[in-house]
Amino acid sequence: MPDPVPRLKLEHITRSFAGRTVVDDVSLEVMPGEVTCLLGPSGCGKSTTLRIVAGVEMQDSGCIWVDGELICDTVLRVPPERRSIGLMFQDFALFPHLSVAENVAFGLTGSKADKRARVEELLDRVDMLRLIDAFPHELSGGEQQRVALARAIAPRPSIMLMDEPFSGLDNRLRDGIRDETLSVLKEEGTAVLLVTHEPEEAMRMADRIALMRNGHIVQQGAPYNVFNAPADKEAAAFFSDIN
Protein backbone atom coordinates (compact mmCIF):
# COMPACT_ATOMS: atom_id res chain seq x y z
CA MET A 1 0.00 0.00 0.00
CA PRO A 2 1.25 3.50 -0.75
CA ASP A 3 1.94 5.71 2.26
CA PRO A 4 -1.08 7.83 3.20
CA VAL A 5 -0.98 11.46 2.15
CA PRO A 6 -0.23 13.77 5.09
CA ARG A 7 -3.08 16.06 6.11
CA LEU A 8 -0.51 18.80 6.53
CA LYS A 9 3.02 19.06 5.29
CA LEU A 10 5.48 21.90 5.85
CA GLU A 11 8.72 22.00 3.92
CA HIS A 12 11.59 24.32 4.81
CA ILE A 13 9.42 27.10 6.24
CA THR A 14 11.50 30.14 7.17
CA ARG A 15 10.48 33.56 8.45
CA SER A 16 12.50 36.52 9.72
CA PHE A 17 11.44 39.73 11.42
CA ALA A 18 13.80 42.70 11.17
CA GLY A 19 16.72 40.46 10.24
CA ARG A 20 16.12 37.94 13.02
CA THR A 21 15.14 34.43 11.93
CA VAL A 22 12.19 33.36 14.06
CA VAL A 23 11.16 30.27 12.09
CA ASP A 24 14.20 28.50 10.74
CA ASP A 25 13.81 25.81 8.08
CA VAL A 26 10.86 24.03 9.70
CA SER A 27 9.69 20.81 8.03
CA LEU A 28 7.02 18.56 9.52
CA GLU A 29 4.01 16.42 8.69
CA VAL A 30 0.71 15.64 10.34
CA MET A 31 -0.76 12.30 9.28
CA PRO A 32 -4.51 11.54 9.11
CA GLY A 33 -6.09 11.04 12.51
CA GLU A 34 -2.91 12.01 14.35
CA VAL A 35 -1.94 14.74 16.77
CA THR A 36 1.46 16.28 16.12
CA CYS A 37 2.72 18.49 18.90
CA LEU A 38 4.98 21.43 18.19
CA LEU A 39 6.67 21.67 21.58
CA GLY A 40 9.19 24.22 22.77
CA PRO A 41 9.89 27.05 25.19
CA SER A 42 8.16 30.38 24.99
CA GLY A 43 9.46 32.56 22.16
CA CYS A 44 10.90 29.73 20.04
CA GLY A 45 8.61 30.44 17.07
CA LYS A 46 5.68 28.05 17.56
CA SER A 47 2.86 30.59 17.15
CA THR A 48 4.52 32.20 14.16
CA THR A 49 4.69 28.77 12.51
CA LEU A 50 0.97 28.20 13.15
CA ARG A 51 0.06 31.65 11.86
CA ILE A 52 1.94 30.90 8.67
CA VAL A 53 0.00 27.64 8.24
CA ALA A 54 -3.27 29.46 8.95
CA GLY A 55 -2.36 32.02 6.30
CA VAL A 56 -2.46 35.10 8.51
CA GLU A 57 1.32 35.42 8.33
CA MET A 58 3.51 34.81 5.29
CA GLN A 59 6.70 32.78 5.18
CA ASP A 60 9.81 34.12 3.46
CA SER A 61 10.49 30.72 1.93
CA GLY A 62 9.20 27.17 2.03
CA CYS A 63 6.00 25.38 1.03
CA ILE A 64 2.79 24.19 2.70
CA TRP A 65 0.53 21.35 1.53
CA VAL A 66 -2.91 20.36 2.81
CA ASP A 67 -4.08 16.89 1.72
CA GLY A 68 -1.34 16.78 -0.89
CA GLU A 69 -2.36 20.07 -2.45
CA LEU A 70 0.06 22.98 -2.45
CA ILE A 71 -1.65 25.88 -0.67
CA CYS A 72 1.23 28.23 -0.17
CA ASP A 73 4.71 28.91 -1.43
CA THR A 74 6.39 32.18 -2.26
CA VAL A 75 4.21 32.63 -5.37
CA LEU A 76 0.92 30.87 -4.68
CA ARG A 77 -1.11 31.91 -1.66
CA VAL A 78 -4.48 30.33 -0.93
CA PRO A 79 -6.38 32.68 1.42
CA PRO A 80 -6.98 31.54 5.02
CA GLU A 81 -10.69 30.79 4.57
CA ARG A 82 -9.98 28.37 1.69
CA ARG A 83 -7.31 26.28 3.44
CA SER A 84 -9.64 23.75 5.13
CA ILE A 85 -8.10 24.60 8.46
CA GLY A 86 -9.80 24.74 11.87
CA LEU A 87 -8.46 27.06 14.54
CA MET A 88 -8.50 26.87 18.30
CA PHE A 89 -6.41 29.51 20.03
CA GLN A 90 -6.43 30.52 23.66
CA ASP A 91 -7.70 33.99 22.83
CA PHE A 92 -9.88 32.92 19.91
CA ALA A 93 -13.13 33.58 21.74
CA LEU A 94 -16.68 32.59 20.92
CA PHE A 95 -18.83 35.24 19.29
CA PRO A 96 -20.47 36.86 22.35
CA HIS A 97 -23.66 37.93 20.55
CA LEU A 98 -24.37 34.46 19.15
CA SER A 99 -25.88 31.49 21.00
CA VAL A 100 -24.01 28.23 21.43
CA ALA A 101 -25.88 26.75 18.45
CA GLU A 102 -25.16 29.79 16.28
CA ASN A 103 -21.49 29.75 17.23
CA VAL A 104 -21.12 26.12 16.20
CA ALA A 105 -23.14 26.64 13.00
CA PHE A 106 -21.07 29.68 12.03
CA GLY A 107 -18.70 28.05 9.53
CA LEU A 108 -21.20 25.50 8.18
CA THR A 109 -22.76 25.44 4.75
CA GLY A 110 -25.73 23.44 3.48
CA SER A 111 -29.41 23.26 4.33
CA LYS A 112 -30.78 24.51 7.62
CA ALA A 113 -31.71 20.96 8.63
CA ASP A 114 -28.24 19.60 7.81
CA LYS A 115 -26.57 22.38 9.77
CA ARG A 116 -28.84 21.81 12.75
CA ALA A 117 -28.11 18.07 12.68
CA ARG A 118 -24.36 18.67 12.63
CA VAL A 119 -24.60 21.23 15.45
CA GLU A 120 -26.59 18.84 17.62
CA GLU A 121 -24.27 15.93 16.86
CA LEU A 122 -21.23 17.92 17.92
CA LEU A 123 -22.77 19.53 20.98
CA ASP A 124 -23.82 16.08 22.09
CA ARG A 125 -20.29 14.83 21.54
CA VAL A 126 -18.81 17.60 23.73
CA ASP A 127 -21.63 17.14 26.25
CA MET A 128 -23.08 20.61 25.72
CA LEU A 129 -26.41 19.81 24.11
CA ARG A 130 -28.33 20.95 27.17
CA LEU A 131 -26.81 24.44 26.76
CA ILE A 132 -27.52 24.74 23.03
CA ASP A 133 -29.48 27.99 23.43
CA ALA A 134 -27.20 29.58 26.03
CA PHE A 135 -24.94 32.54 25.31
CA PRO A 136 -21.17 32.53 25.90
CA HIS A 137 -21.33 34.77 29.00
CA GLU A 138 -23.57 32.19 30.66
CA LEU A 139 -20.91 29.47 30.32
CA SER A 140 -17.90 28.55 32.45
CA GLY A 141 -14.41 28.65 30.94
CA GLY A 142 -14.43 24.90 30.44
CA GLU A 143 -17.84 24.99 28.79
CA GLN A 144 -16.75 27.77 26.44
CA GLN A 145 -13.76 25.64 25.55
CA ARG A 146 -15.98 22.72 24.61
CA VAL A 147 -18.15 24.92 22.40
CA ALA A 148 -15.01 26.34 20.77
CA LEU A 149 -13.88 22.79 20.03
CA ALA A 150 -17.28 21.91 18.51
CA ARG A 151 -17.20 25.09 16.42
CA ALA A 152 -13.68 24.38 15.14
CA ILE A 153 -14.36 20.80 14.03
CA ALA A 154 -17.92 21.34 12.76
CA PRO A 155 -16.93 22.10 9.13
CA ARG A 156 -14.70 18.97 9.12
CA PRO A 157 -11.43 20.79 8.47
CA SER A 158 -8.59 18.74 7.00
CA ILE A 159 -6.35 19.95 9.78
CA MET A 160 -6.94 21.63 13.10
CA LEU A 161 -4.45 24.13 14.49
CA MET A 162 -4.44 24.55 18.26
CA ASP A 163 -2.23 27.15 19.95
CA GLU A 164 -1.93 26.54 23.69
CA PRO A 165 -5.70 26.07 23.86
CA PHE A 166 -5.67 24.92 27.48
CA SER A 167 -3.35 27.48 29.04
CA GLY A 168 -6.17 29.82 30.08
CA LEU A 169 -7.88 27.11 32.14
CA ASP A 170 -7.17 26.52 35.78
CA ASN A 171 -5.11 23.48 36.73
CA ARG A 172 -7.99 21.67 38.32
CA LEU A 173 -9.93 21.54 35.05
CA ARG A 174 -7.11 21.25 32.59
CA ASP A 175 -6.33 17.54 32.67
CA GLY A 176 -9.96 16.59 32.26
CA ILE A 177 -10.51 18.97 29.38
CA ARG A 178 -7.34 17.80 27.64
CA ASP A 179 -8.55 14.22 27.80
CA GLU A 180 -12.06 15.08 26.66
CA THR A 181 -10.71 17.16 23.79
CA LEU A 182 -8.42 14.39 22.68
CA SER A 183 -11.19 11.80 22.69
CA VAL A 184 -13.50 14.08 20.66
CA LEU A 185 -10.72 14.73 18.12
CA LYS A 186 -9.96 11.02 17.84
CA GLU A 187 -13.64 10.08 17.42
CA GLU A 188 -14.03 12.68 14.71
CA GLY A 189 -10.72 11.60 13.13
CA THR A 190 -9.43 15.18 13.01
CA ALA A 191 -5.71 15.63 12.38
CA VAL A 192 -4.19 18.23 14.70
CA LEU A 193 -1.12 20.39 14.92
CA LEU A 194 -1.02 21.34 18.61
CA VAL A 195 1.34 24.00 19.93
CA THR A 196 2.41 23.86 23.55
CA HIS A 197 5.33 24.86 25.79
CA GLU A 198 4.44 22.12 28.30
CA PRO A 199 6.22 18.78 27.85
CA GLU A 200 3.58 17.11 29.98
CA GLU A 201 0.81 18.23 27.63
CA ALA A 202 2.74 16.96 24.62
CA MET A 203 3.37 13.61 26.28
CA ARG A 204 -0.31 13.32 27.11
CA MET A 205 -1.76 14.30 23.76
CA ALA A 206 0.70 13.75 20.94
CA ASP A 207 1.17 10.86 18.54
CA ARG A 208 4.27 12.65 17.37
CA ILE A 209 6.37 15.42 18.92
CA ALA A 210 8.39 18.01 17.02
CA LEU A 211 10.72 19.65 19.52
CA MET A 212 11.47 23.27 18.63
CA ARG A 213 14.17 25.61 19.86
CA ASN A 214 15.26 28.99 18.51
CA GLY A 215 13.03 28.60 15.47
CA HIS A 216 14.44 25.21 14.60
CA ILE A 217 13.11 21.65 14.94
CA VAL A 218 15.79 19.85 16.94
CA GLN A 219 14.08 16.44 17.15
CA GLN A 220 10.96 14.64 15.92
CA GLY A 221 9.48 11.33 16.91
CA ALA A 222 7.02 9.38 19.01
CA PRO A 223 6.62 10.91 22.50
CA TYR A 224 8.17 7.90 24.20
CA ASN A 225 11.27 8.08 22.01
CA VAL A 226 11.74 11.83 22.33
CA PHE A 227 11.32 11.61 26.10
CA ASN A 228 13.63 8.63 26.52
CA ALA A 229 16.27 9.60 24.00
CA PRO A 230 16.41 13.40 23.88
CA ALA A 231 18.57 14.78 21.08
CA ASP A 232 20.91 16.69 23.41
CA LYS A 233 21.38 17.97 26.96
CA GLU A 234 19.11 20.94 26.44
CA ALA A 235 16.29 18.70 25.22
CA ALA A 236 16.82 16.42 28.21
CA ALA A 237 16.68 19.41 30.59
CA PHE A 238 13.47 20.60 28.96
CA PHE A 239 11.80 17.28 29.75
CA SER A 240 13.35 16.87 33.16
CA ASP A 241 10.52 18.42 35.18
CA ILE A 242 8.06 15.68 34.29
CA ASN A 243 8.25 12.06 35.30
Return the H-helix or E-strand segment holding 8: strand 8-17
45 contributes a contact to ligand ADP by CB under 6 A = yes
Window of 38-46, 65-73, 168-176, 228-236 that interacts with ligand ADP by CB under 6 A: 38-46
15 contributes a contact to ligand ADP by CB under 6 A = no
154 contributes a contact to ligand ADP by CB under 6 A = no
Rounded-to-10 torsion of CA 204, 104, 121, 182:
0
Residues 22-51 that bind Mg ion (CB under 5 A): 47
For the bound state, the minimum distance from the C-beta of residue 15 to ligand ADP, rounded and expressed in Å, comes to 9
Residue (17 or 95) nearer to ligand ADP, CB:
17
Q: Which does 22 bind (CB under 5 to 8 A by kind): Mg ion, ligand ADP, none?
A: ligand ADP
Contacts 24+ apart (CB under 8 A), 133-136: 133/99, 133/100, 133/101, 134/99, 134/100, 135/96, 135/97, 135/98, 135/99, 135/100, 136/93, 136/94, 136/95, 136/96, 136/98, 136/100, 136/103
Burial string for 5-41 (b: 16+ CB within 10 Å, else e) reads ebbbbbbebbbeeeeeebbbebebbbbeebbbbbbbe
Question: Helix, strand or coil for residue 15?
Answer: strand
**Hey, which residues does 219 pair with through a beta bridge?**
211
47 contributes a contact to ligand ADP by CB under 6 A = yes
Q: Which does 62 bind (CB under 5 to 8 A by kind): Mg ion, ligand ADP, none?
A: none
Residue (41 or 110) nearer to Mg ion, CB:
41
The neighbour count for residue 105, using CB atoms within 10 Å, is 20
For the bound state, the minimum distance from the C-beta of residue 213 to ligand ADP, rounded and expressed in Å, comes to 10
For the bound state, the minimum distance from the C-beta of residue 46 to Mg ion, rounded and expressed in Å, comes to 5
Residues 6 or more apart whose CB falls under 8 angstroms from that of 3 comprise none
Q: Which does 48 bind (CB under 5 to 8 A by kind): Mg ion, ligand ADP, none?
A: ligand ADP
The neighbour count for residue 3, using CB atoms within 10 Å, is 6
Cβ-contact 172, 110 below 8 angstroms:
no
For the bound state, the minimum distance from the C-beta of residue 58 to ligand ADP, rounded and expressed in Å, comes to 11
Supply the Cα-derived Rg of the chain in whole angstroms: 18
17 contributes a contact to ligand ADP by CB under 6 A = yes
Residue (136 or 215) nearer to ligand ADP, CB:
215
Taking every pair of C-alpha atoms in the chain, what is the biggest distance, in angstroms?
Answer: 56
Q: Which does 44 bind (CB under 5 to 8 A by kind): ligand ADP, Mg ion, none?
A: ligand ADP
For the bound state, the minimum distance from the C-beta of residue 161 to Mg ion, rounded and expressed in Å, comes to 12
Window of 39-47, 71-79, 148-156, 186-194 that interacts with ligand ADP by CB under 6 A: 39-47
44 contributes a contact to ligand ADP by CB under 6 A = yes
Residues of the shown chain interacting with Mg ion in the complex, contacts defined by CB under 5 A = 47
